[in-house]
Amino acid sequence: MSEPAGPPALPPSMRDRVPFLLYRASQISHSLANEMLAEMALSARQVGILTLVTELEPMTQKALADTLRIDRTSMVALLDDLEAKGYVARQRHPRDRRAFLVQPTDSGRAAKAAAVRILDEQQRRFLAPLTPAERAQLSALLTRLSQRPAPEQ
Amino acid sequence: MSEPAGPPALPPSMRDRVPFLLYRASQISHSLANEMLAEMALSARQVGILTLVTELEPMTQKALADTLRIDRTSMVALLDDLEAKGYVARQRHPRDRRAFLVQPTDSGRAAKAAAVRILDEQQRRFLAPLTPAERAQLSALLTRLSQRPAPEQ
DNA sequence: TCCTGATTATCTGTCTACTGACGATAAGGT
DNA sequence: ACCTTATCGTCAGTAGACAGATAATCAGGA
């Protein structure tokens, strides 16, 4: 009775600290997403890449990295894996021989569609505690907070 | 003119995806926090540990890990560093010789106070785009979303 | 008491992401 | 044309966090 089941509660000074709550909520959401994507052997970052290359014009690795705020050295390994799975192809940029244009394959488009279905379900589960109006509020607030300048890497 | 300065904009299908916005906002907040704490050579996680041990009863490493949702093997290194800095001390648990009770030193309490001042300023900067009412809304929404069960590690 | 299983902290190995450096190529000034 | 500087993709090294195994200790039952 003196030792209840769960871990000790957080002190009040932490419970109302927004950066901490944000970090914790993001951890929960992100790990849920990656767990649910594990059956496709993809990470959330890779789904982001697939989404960009299927929905936008062909992009270089650097443009992908800047848009998703992924380090460009990490992009190499992520694309190596996607290429090995047959989901994307690197093509030489016609005007810049240093760069590659990343383009999706047919099976890459199919994988992207399947992954988006999984992430739709993930979002549904994660946002279950909120009403539709609250979800819209949250989305609007986070949009403003996530629009700050990227740290110029 | 055909190539504007910034990276390409995100496709609409990603712009309104809450888990993605949450991840991005958390990244921005977390990296800002760690950058601002760098002058004290502390990480945000370590400030969490200092906050718990100064504001709650003495806790074991496992209780700290569960409360902050940090892996217990990571806790070892974090505490090793805090102990080397003279901010905490490990004391044998009087009733369980396997466990240590982590207690703050005087300089640990001072460091915690200084770190909290830094994090107050970090929160102020990060939430600058929002009105006080919006900050309260966000805090309430995130509190509900971050209260899901911890993944029983 | 003794035995079995669980728990605490630790250590080792692994995986992921970032920092710094490099070769190849491009862009701009002279 | 030449030379200097910047950029793109890549690789090697490094730091952080997690998974699995281990020694010491505790808890509970026969």
Domain locations along chain A: 19-138
pTM reported for the whole predicted model: 0.91
Q: Mind telling me how many Å the CA of B96 is from chain A's nearest CA?
A: 14
Query: For residue B25, is pLDDT > 50?
Result: yes
Tell me yes or no: is domain A19-138 CATH 1.10.10.10: yes
Could you read off the pLDDT of B65-110 as tens digits, one per residue? 999 999 999 999 999 999 999 999 999 999 999 999 999 999 999 9
What is the per-residue DSSP string for A83-118?
HHTTSEEEEE-SS-TT-EEEEE-HHHHHHHHHHHHH
Q: Do B59 and A14 touch (CB under 8 A)?
A: no
Closest nucleotide over all strands to A63 (CA to C1'): D8
Out of A28, A66, A151, whose CB is closest to B148? A28
Could you read off the pLDDT of A31-52 as tens digits, one per residue? 999 999 999 999 999 999 999 9
Could you read off the pLDDT of A84-108 as tens digits, one per residue? 999 999 999 999 999 999 999 999 9
Percent of chain B with pLDDT strictly greater than 90: 87
φ, ψ of residue B90 to 5 degrees: the values are: -90, 130
Distance of A94 CA from D1 C1′ (whole Å): 25
Q: Do B135 and A18 touch (CB under 8 A)?
A: yes
Query: For residue B12, is pLDDT > 50?
Result: yes
Q: Do B67 and A145 touch (CB under 8 A)?
A: no
First to last CA, chain A: 53
Contact list in A for residue B71 (CB cut-off 8 A) is: none
Task: Judge whether B116 is closer than 8 Å to chain A, CB to CB.
Answer: yes
One-letter identity of residue B52: L
Closest residue (Cα, C1') to D11:
A73
Return mean pLDDT, chain B: 91
User: Residue B4 region, left (φ>0) first, then alpha (ψ -120 to 50), else beta?
Assistant: beta
Query: For residue A148, is pLDDT > 90?
Result: no
Closest nucleotide over all strands to A83 (CA to C1'): D9
Q: Nearest chain B Cα to A35, which residue? A: B151
Residue A44, CB, strand D, below 7 Å: no
Count the residues in chain A: 153
